[in-house]
Amino acid sequence: MNQLDALKQFTTVVADTGDFRQLAQFRPQDATTNPSLILKAVQKPDYAPLLQDTVSKWHGRDLAEVMDRLLVRFGCEILSIIPGRVSTEVDARLSFDTNATVARAERIIGLYQAEGVHIDRVLIKVAATWEGIEAARQLESRGIHTNLTLLFSFAQAVACGQAKVQLISPFVGRIYDWHKKQAGSAWDEAAMAGANDPGVQSVRAIFNHYKHFGIATEVMGASFRNVGQITALAGCDLLTIAPDLLAQLATAEAPLARALDTGAARALDLPAVNYDEAGFRYALNHDAMATEKLAEGIRAFAADALKLEQLMLAA
C-alpha cells in the first residue's frame, strides 16, 4: 500500500488545487480552491477558455459578480469529479467587513444552487479575522457551512470552535516558513522535522483541544511544504494537499502510522479556553507569527484577486 492509500485510512484527503484535470488520479474526497490557485489555473491553455466564456457570458455585470461566477464555474467542474465538498473563497478584500462577507457568501451559495449544487457540497472560505469568524457564525446559523482559512494561531482556532464553524484550515507550511526564517542559520532542518515541526505542533494542539472538549469543528491541515509534515498529521480530520505532494505520497511505500488520535486527546488534561473579542484580539496580537502571517496572507490573496480581475477585464 502506498502512503496516499495508507493516509486515507486515517484521514480524509482533500486536493488543494484549481487544476481540476489533475483530480481524478488521486481520488480525493473534497477539494479546496483560493484566488491564487484559480489565477494560476486560468493562465494555463486548458483553463483560459473558462475565463473567456464566463466573462463573455456575463459581460456588463459588476466585476465582483463575474469573479464569483468564475469561482463557481471552477467549483462546479471540481464537484463533477469529486464525491464530496469544494471550498470557494470570499474575496480577501472583505476580510474585515462582516456584513459584506455574509452578503458575498450568500451570493456564491445562490450561484451554486442555480447550477443544481446542494448547499452541503460547498464550504465558503473566509479569513479567520474576528470579523470573518463573526461572519461565519452568522452563515452557519443560516445553514451555510464555512471553512476558516489563514489560520495560524490557537486563539483563532478557539474562536472558530466557539462560533461553531464547520471546518478550519490551519496553515502548517506558512508557520514552518516563519519559524525557519526567524531562526536563520541556527535552523536545524532534521531536528525540526516531523512531529517537531512548529506547524505540525500547532495543528496537533488545535486537534487535541477540539477533541478533548468535544468541539465538532473539523480540523483540516493545509499549506504543506513536504511529505513529512503530512505524515506527521495522519489521523487529523482532513488534510488538503497540493497535487505534487499527492503524487509523492502515491509513489512512497514507507509505512505510515496514525499520529493524531481522538481517544488520546480526550484523555489529556487540558485547560478550558474561551475568548471574547478583546481577548481574541490581544491573544492574536501577542502572537507575532500569526499576526504577520494573517496580514501577509490577506494581502497576497487580495493581490491575486486583483490580478484575476485584470485578466477578466482583458479577456
String of DSSP letters for 202-256 = HHHHHHHHHHHTT---EEEEB--SSHHHHHTTTTSSEEEE-HHHHHHHHH--S--
In the chain, the amino acid numbered 144 is I
The Cα 177–Cα 161 span in angstroms is 26
pLDDT by position in tens, the chain (length 315): 999 999 999 999 999 999 999 898 999 999 999 989 999 999 999 999 999 999 999 999 999 999 999 999 999 999 999 999 999 999 999 999 999 999 999 999 999 999 999 999 999 999 999 999 999 999 999 999 999 999 999 999 999 999 999 999 999 999 999 999 999 999 999 999 999 999 999 999 999 999 999 999 999 999 999 999 999 999 999 999 999 999 999 999 999 999 999 999 999 999 999 999 999 999 999 999 999 999 999 999 999 999 999 999 998
The Cα 188–Cα 166 span in angstroms is 36
**Sign (positive or negative) of CA dihedral 68, 70, 73, 75:** negative
The Cα 208–Cα 204 span in angstroms is 6
> What b-and-e string marks burial along 215-253, b requiring 16 or more CB atoms within 10 Å of the CB?
bebbbbbbbbbbbebbbbbbbbbbbbbbbebbebbeeee
Domains (ranges, CATH) in the chain?
Answer: 3-314 (3.20.20.70)
* pTM listed for this prediction: 0.97
8-state DSSP, 185: G
Distances (CA, A) of 82 to 132, 203, 208: 27, 26, 29
User: For cell 455585470, what's the residue?
Assistant: 61
* Residue 278 confidence (pLDDT): 98
The Cα 33–Cα 86 span in angstroms is 8
Q: Which residues are catalytic?
A: 125
* Residue 35 confidence (pLDDT): 85
Number of separate helices (H) and strands (E) present in the chain? 14, 8
User: For cell 526564517, what's the residue?
Assistant: 181
